[in-house]
Structure 1
Amino acid sequence: MSQDEDDKSVSNRVVTLEQFIVDTFTRVGNDGIERPVDQPDQIGGGGTYAIIGGRMFVPPSKLGMIIDYTPDTLPTNMRNALKEFGEEMWVFRERTDGHPTARAVNKYDEQARHFQYLTKPLLLTPNSLLGTTIGNPLPSTIHFISYPAPRAEIILSEVFQLKQRRAWNPIIIWEPEEENLVVLERIARNIHVIGPNHNEILRLFPMTIPPSSSESELREIYSQACNRIALLRPKIGVVIRCGHLGCCYSSTPPLDMKPEVKWIPAYWNPQRTGWKQGKVVDPTGAGNAFMGGLAAALNMNLSLDEAVIWGSVAASFTIEQDGLPVLTKNADKELWNGEDPLKRVKIMKKTREDI
């Protein structure tokens, strides 16, 4: 009997198919010239932030990510910093294709962020997990970003193959970056949660938003987009991450009902005590951390209503500094930036009840 035939078990684990990236930073000035930023290289990659977002709520044994690297291009301090979150989360795997550890530049232009690879990335798929500690047994939930597109249909085809061979049927969390509406319409029913951000929505549904649009007008635009995606019938629902506006979301409704679009605010907003004390430092990775927190909640069989709160809390810790939040321990309790994430979950639940 082959290993594929024999191993049909599934681990209770959230795994990202995104890669580790060393991030560097530049900023485009008012004169249009791009200049380096006085900021050291840092741990990056949407998958890394997603897994750390999940790590705020679950132990490392419930998470997983492959770190493809070469020894001379992955700084020792970064490797050690990753291990501090839990060694069993990571599969360190030396690259053999002649390329260094993936590296990218994040270019900031006023409020916009542009991303560009500086080295060749390794695009992971479900088959990349096979033979690793996070792929044998296969995970119960997978997360991926379709950048660069197209990736979604390739990943789904391997999920279907592994479903035939190993009876694998994971929860699939998808950030449809750079994918187009035709692909979205074709595969939505095979995805559990479709989670674009507000910029990706504008690529999926080309529309002109006047610079003077009010927050209420923006909310209406995003709500309409959320409704349209929910009608494509993903297995669980759709979540649109809208930056400082929070997020709108909808569970997929029964066939005879219309979607119900709901909103929750971002944890850090002008009404929150501390907002004006410089709590918001850098939004890099916040949206990915949101999806990781959401994935961890759904993997624990929590509702979408609860999952978006976990995601919002994960994002709130991510924006409080450059790079990843700091994990410490106080007695038997883990603290992130000195605070218990579940405390913020309770605060957000109370806020929702008061609305």
Structure 2
Amino acid sequence: MTVNSEGHQQRMAQNVDAVEVVEDEGEKCQDIDFVTLGMFIIDEIEYLPPKPPALNILGGAGTYSALGARLFSPPPTLSKSVGWIIDQGSDFPGSMTTLIDTWSTSAVFRLDPNRLTTRGWNGYTDASERRQFRYTTPKKRLTAEDLTGCSPLLRAKAIHMVCSPARCRDLVTDINARRRSLPDYPGKPLIIWEPVPDLCTPDELLNCTNTLPLVDICSPNHAELAGFMGSDGLTPDGSEISTAAVEQACEQLLASMPLQSYTLVVRAGEKGCYIAKNGGRKKPPPGQQQQQPKKRKKKEHVRGGLQHDTDMEALFAGLLQDDEGHVAREEIEVDPGIEKWLPAYHTTPKKVVDPTGGGNTFLGGLAVALARGKSIEEACAWGSVAASFAIEQVGVPTLNNNKEGGGEMWNGVRVEDRLAEYLDRVALSSGPFPN
């Protein structure tokens, strides 16, 4: 579903009136593990003085989440299981097309020469890594209809979205309806929801709780979670992220939803991530039908009230036992839930060059891990490792092939080596690295 940079430049030279979607016919049946509804954005990043600004940087939630999934999806097959949509305007740099092509993903390029590419300004105004953002050109949001235009993307196992609670509900409802209309219904996808920062406010808390039943993972960062609760999520002196505030906010949010199990993954910068999942009735594994309890035969009982000589022990024994004399009650397996911190991969600030996109990259890694059957703890480990590659430089990490024949490398490091190191550090086991 990609287009080469030469062909892109030729089309840019033509004054085409309609949006052009480029797909390869041979890839229409590609299985997609991950797709994002995050936008592609060309970034301008302004740092605190004396660090100069960075211009024309490959960015956006769509780009970075696709990167997170791609890090764990080596070519030739798994890289094509990562899907995303790139809306190109008349100002789209050809060098970006060339760079994206090197990732070998199932990227769908949509060219519209009558508009500008979505661009954004990112500003870091203090040392807390709190980012301010604004669009500098009109944005082009993605919808469920955009996925319908490319059937493999609509069938994705996991879908990532960055939006308000209300828009998340609309998107999930529309996506599920469109999937049900396909000739072979692929079932519901995993939904990884990243709340949009501007609407993480106390006024939106009820909307947030109403959205949780529709998603599999809700993942705000520490500031966004705190925003729902009307606080800043920092320690009393404002010097660092408060882990206690994160835990308390998760407890309050999950306690308000007692009748079902929900999972929150809070991204907390240098503190790592916090997994909060409330307990409840454990669901059977996918595809495994829950056994129906045997119907008990009706017993003959004397009608009427209790008598002074009624044998109470025999009466209750008859009520509680089945025909074979065993206690007849349904056994319910209970999920105890999870409350767990996982550390950030980079433990020293000097390793972090630019945090922009780290959270999106985390969620791309997490989502593709869940799509491939990993536990939530291991999926968060994938996310932590993915984020580590995104924040080591301005923009995206450098991809190159290992000259010694050991597969591809990002920033000169094999992803599987970094993952193995991290899993060992946090005492988590893992299966073989995907290939």
One fold, TM greater than 0.5? yes
Label 1:101 to 1:174 Cα distance change in 2 as closer, same or farther (>3 A): same
CA distance in 1, matches of 2:152, 2:123: 33
Match of 2:192 in 1: 173
Picking from 220, 237, 242, the partner of 2:263 is 237
Match of 1:265 in 2: 343
CA distance in 2, matches of 1:47, 1:201: 21
CA distance in 1, matches of 2:51, 2:383: 31
Report how far residue 214 of structure 1 moved.
7.3
Picking from 117, 140, 154, the partner of 2:157 is 140
Match of 2:225 in 1: 201
Report how far residue 79 of structure 1 moved.
1.2
CA distance in 2, matches of 1:234, 1:339: 41
Q: What is the 5 A alignment of 1:271-310?
A: 278-310=350-382
How many residues align structurally?
Answer: 329
Amino acid at match of 2:175: V
Deviations 1:70-122 (Å, cap 9, x if unpaired)? 2x311011111111111x421001137x4211001111101321010111111
Match of 1:185 in 2: 209
| Pairing 1:78–2:102 present | no
Match of 2:31 in 1: 11
Amino acid at match of 1:91: V
Secondary structure of 1:353's aligned partner: coil
Is there any run of 5+ residues in structure 2 with no aligned partner, and where?
1-28, 282-333, 429-435
CA contact (8 A) 1:230 1:259 kept: no
Amino acid at match of 2:427: E
| Pairing 1:152–2:168 present | yes
CA distance in 1, matches of 2:260, 2:395: 32
Label 1:28 to 1:279 Cα distance change in 2 as closer, same or farther (>3 A): closer
TM-score, normalised via structure 2 length: 0.70
Q: What is the 5 A alignment of 1:307-318?
A: 307-318=379-390
Report how far residue 150 of structure 1 moved.
4.6
Label 1:310 to 1:257 Cα distance change in 2 as closer, same or farther (>3 A): closer
Deviations 1:203-238 (Å, cap 9, x if unpaired)? 1111254552576x8111101222344454776621
Match of 1:94 in 2: 111
Report how far residue 10 of structure 1 moved.
9.3
Label 1:236 to 1:90 Cα distance change in 2 as closer, same or farther (>3 A): farther
CA contact (8 A) 2:261 2:280 kept: no
Report how far residue 157 of structure 1 moved.
2.2
CA contact (8 A) 1:188 1:234 kept: no
Secondary structure of 1:81's aligned partner: helix
Deviations 1:16-47 (Å, cap 9, x if unpaired)? 01111000122466xxxxx9944232100011
Match of 2:119 in 1: 103
Q: What is the 5 A alignment of 1:50-61?
A: 50-58=65-73, 59-61=78-80
Label 1:198 to 1:128 Cα distance change in 2 as closer, same or farther (>3 A): same
Match of 2:315 in 1: none
Report how far residue 288 of structure 1 moved.
0.5
| Pairing 1:345–2:419 present | yes
Q: Could you tell me the percent identity over the aligned residues?
A: 32
